Chains A and B, each alone.
Chain A
Amino acid sequence: KNEVEQSPQNLTAQEGEFITINCSYSVGISALHWLQQHPGGGIVSLFMLSSGKKKHGRLIATINIQEKHSSLHITASHPRDSAVYICAVKSGWFYFGTGTSLTVIP
């Protein structure tokens, strides 16, 4: 069993839809990251969370430490949001989820 589980694995949405990607983890953590990976491998850090909620533009990330769960929300989705979104936690080592592949259709 992976220390970090993401759902869904694949997601297709129409432009403008509200999107939620979920991340559950089984270890105690000091921080959780949401990452975005575009085709070709480039990875961008979107958020680092240790509690509560953060917002950046159309992206919102929340974390519930007690439930060991985080969500990434995208409001008013756009085709340029199409990418793989990866949840990563630091617990001694760094553990990564396998990612959620998002495709936003115009």
Chain B
Amino acid sequence: DTGVSQNPRHKITKRGQNVTFRCDPISEHNRLYWYRQTLGQGPEFLTYFQNEAQLEKSRLLSDRFSAERPKGSFSTLEIQRTEQGDSAMYLCASSQLQGAWQYFGPGTRLTVT
């Protein structure tokens, strides 16, 4: 499978714990995006990378959230001190060029209890 993959697919954690998600984009794509989607809403943009550089961050990305793409390939999204409001689907997408077709991964569903 050469699409975008995300791991884990599901994560249940207790409030206050830290969680980390991973996204593996399509190999030749230099842009990688993170989105968050809550039930009944469209995805909300969180941040994106061009190669290893984080170029944009949404105001939604609080200090508890950090994303990295150290080698310009896979990316990780970490949430520290999780809160119940962090429960959502976290989606990753990748593309080759600015504004080009984005390929979405299956998402990681986070439940904070």
Contacts and interface: CB of A to CB of B under 8 A. Distances in A.
A45 B101 CA distance: 7
Nearest to A93: B45
A93 B56 contact: yes
Interface string A74-85: 000000000000
Nearest to A46: B101
Contacts of A30: 99
B106 A40 contact: yes
Contacts, number: 52
Interface residues on B, range: 20 to 34
Nearest to B37: A41
A94 B101 contact: no
Nearest to B45: A94
Interface residues on A, range: 20 to 34
Nearest to B93: A43
Interface string A81-106: 00000101010111111110000000
A42 interface: yes
A86 B43 contact: yes
A33 interface: yes
B21 interface: no
Contacts of B56: 92-93
A27 interface: no
B55 to A, nearest CB: 11
Nearest to A4: B42
Interface in A17-44: 30-31, 33, 35, 40-44
Interface of A: 4, 30-31, 33, 35, 40-45, 48, 50, 86, 88, 90, 92-99
23 contacts: A40-B106, A41-B106, A41-B109, A42-B106, A42-B107, A44-B104, A45-B101, A45-B103, A45-B104, A48-B99, A48-B100, A86-B42, A86-B43, A90-B99, A94-B33, A94-B35, A95-B45, A96-B35, A96-B44, A98-B40, A98-B41, A98-B42, A99-B42
Interface of B: 33, 35, 37, 40-45, 56, 58, 89, 91, 93, 99-104, 106-107, 109
